[in-house]
Amino acid sequence: MSVAYGPPEMMAVAMARLIRDGELVFIGVNSPLPLVAASLARRLHAPNCTLLSIGGGVNPTPAGLGAATSSARLSIGSASVFDNVDFYGLVARGGVDTTFLGLAQIDERGRVNSSFIGEQKRPTVRFPGGGGAATILPLSRRVILWRASHSPRIFVEEVPFVTSAGNIDRVVTPLCTFRKEEGFLVLDSIHSYIDRERLAKSTGFAIRNLDRAPVTPPPTAAELSELERLDPTGVRRSEFPPGDLSAA
């Protein structure tokens, strides 16, 4: 039996599966998909992972999820408030297992640019900045990067500026999941609804193992029904531009 799903569901499930039971997982600002994924993992295979939110909560239990992950609502149900200064101390002392980080551009060597393109004083493109990534990427035991969009302007041969680099474990996109192997991004799996030619055209560097990587196991019925119960308002879709939600 086939179950309907698209890139938001595939990404949320793929990211959830990467979380291991018992880990301490950090969810920062601007992170709707990681919030959904970590909450899903806690309901499925990782009930004993600790979710630390930049909203101040340790395993918060707000009534519903929202797209703004810096909200102080993400301390509701928490027995303590763990603020930004506390978090950056914890990550610096090596206390964080897994962190999700966004990106504006990434290159074949897993270097991330979230800062700018062009001259620093007057850039042709200004990005938001990397947040804490330059500190977190070398210090969090594992970092899962994600971006709800996949194009040759995002996945480039070489970034013009390195905002952050370090312990990349996986990069999850609407088309595929990469992993870092011997210093280079390689294809971990390609999502079931994407053909390999399209993935190659959408990526600005040559994928070394394009033809050999497996297909990402589609979300199971159990994963999808739990996802729908957890996220009835569709926070998982909030990072996708309107009209960009179909698998086609």
71 binds another protein (CB under 8 A): yes
Find residue 116's DSSP bridge partners: 126
Spell out, one character per residue from 93 to 112, where the chain touches another protein: x when CB under 8 A holds, - when not.
Answer: ------------------x-
**CA-to-CA dists, residue 158 to 4, 55, 110, 223, 244, angstroms:** 37, 34, 9, 36, 27
85 binds another protein (CB under 8 A): yes
Nearest CB to another protein, comparing residues 167 and 189: 167
User: Of 25-33, 177-185, 190-198, 204-212, which segment contacts another protein by CB under 8 A?
Assistant: 25-33
- The pair of structure tokens assigned to 175 is 């088309």
164 binds another protein (CB under 8 A): yes
Residue carrying the six token digits 């560097």 = 205
88 binds another protein (CB under 8 A): yes
Nearest CB to another protein, comparing residues 81 and 222: 81
**Which of 8, 34, 166, 174 touches another protein (CB under 8 A)?**
166
243 binds another protein (CB under 8 A): no
Nearest CB to another protein, comparing residues 70 and 189: 70
Nearest CB to another protein, comparing residues 6 and 32: 32
Nearest CB to another protein, comparing residues 122 and 212: 122
Judge whether 46 and 22 are in contact, CB under 8 Å: yes
Judge whether 150 and 156 are in contact, CB under 8 Å: no
**Which of 162, 210, 224, 247 touches another protein (CB under 8 A)?**
162
- Cβ neighbours of residue 79 under 8 Å, at least 6 residues apart? 58
Between CA 163 and CA 111 the distance in angstroms is 8
90 binds another protein (CB under 8 A): no
29 binds another protein (CB under 8 A): yes
List the one residue out of 58, 75, 5, 24 whose CA is nearest residue 231: 5
How many residues form the binding site for another protein (CB under 8 A)? 54
Could you tell me how far CA 78 lies from the centroid of its own chain? 24
Q: How far is the CB of 128 from another protein (least distance, A)?
A: 5
> What's the chain's length in residues?
248
| Backbone dihedral region for residue 110 (phi beyond 0: left; psi -120 to 50: alpha; all else: beta) | left
Between CA 13 and CA 145 the distance in angstroms is 14
Exposed / middle / buried, residue 122 (Cβ in 10 Å: 0-12, 13-18, 19+): exposed
Spell out, one character per residue from 110 to 139, where the chain touches another protein: x when CB under 8 A holds, - when not.
Answer: -x--xxx---xxxxxxxxxxxxxxxxxxxx
Contacting residues toward another protein, per CB under 8 A: 29-30, 32, 55-56, 66-73, 75, 81-85, 88, 91-92, 111, 114-116, 120-139, 161-166, 238-239
